Chains A and B, each alone.
Chain A
Amino acid sequence: EAGVAQSPRYKIIEKRQSVAFWCNPISGHATLYWYQQILGQGPKLLIQFQNNGVVDDSQLPKDRFSAERLKGVDSTLKIQPAKLEDSAVYLCASSPWRGTDTQYFGPGTRLTVL
């Protein structure tokens, strides 16, 4: 079974530029999560999807971050414009359905904002 795929693995941009990350969850997984992991901290949930609907985006900075999962499969997370404090690893995770306690994580995208 293929795991959660993410791309790119690394991205370096300057502040005020835009960036997008892509995630393809495990096949058949209905629930998809995006986390932000700042250096030295644990992952923090940004947004949770159930199929193509948003379940929780309470911690997503909506003035600059957006995410979509149009067909209920893969997802993109966008930052526009980026700030220095957005430098972090962005992790995507999926689970078979919303009530599952175990999440499966991708390798992450490391973003550096200069």
Chain B
Amino acid sequence: AQSVTQLDSQVPVFEEAPVELRCNYSSSVSVYLFWYVQYPNQGLQLLLKYLSGSTLVKGINGFEAEFNKSQTSVHLRKPSVHISDTAEYFCAVSSKTSYDKVIFGPGTSLSVIP
């Protein structure tokens, strides 16, 4: 079974500052990793996914994530945030043998301050 921990429930950051949202996972099998974003009153949208290959993954809207297998982490980063990045961010994991079964973390609320 897999589980996901998002270390910060809320992250306030000033506009144009960098941000890092932290995610750790546990699993006894190889996994795929995902970051989803949920804007207010909207459904979830895929930001990026790590399936294999390079551990640095680039996503949409200028976000990127680095997968660290030894630390079982996949932290999400953006060098300069915009007001429009204010949203809920979910880290998620699925096993490579059952990758349509996605386990979501509790989410991190990113608030960008003008």
User: Which A positions have Cβ atoms within 8 angstroms of B?
Assistant: 4, 31, 40-45, 48, 56, 91, 93, 95, 98-103, 105-108
Contact = CB atoms under 8 A, between A and B. Distances in A.
Interface string B33-52: 01010000111111001010
> Which of A31, A100, A105 has the largest count of B CB atoms less than 10 A from its CB?
A105
Q: Main SS of the interface on chain A?
A: loop
B5 to A, nearest CB: 11
Interface residues of B, number: 24
Given A4-B43, A45-B102, A48-B101, 5 more contacts: A42-B4, A48-B100, A91-B43, A99-B100, A101-B51
Nearest to B34: A101
Contacts of A105: 36, 43-45
Contacts of A41: 106-107
> Which of B34, B43, B46 has the largest count of A CB atoms less than 10 A from its CB?
B43
B90 interface: yes
Contact of B43 (A48, A95, A108): A108
A5 to B, nearest CB: 11
Nearest to A41: B106
11 contacts: A40-B9, A42-B104, A43-B104, A48-B100, A93-B44, A99-B99, A105-B36, A107-B41, A107-B42, A108-B42, A108-B43
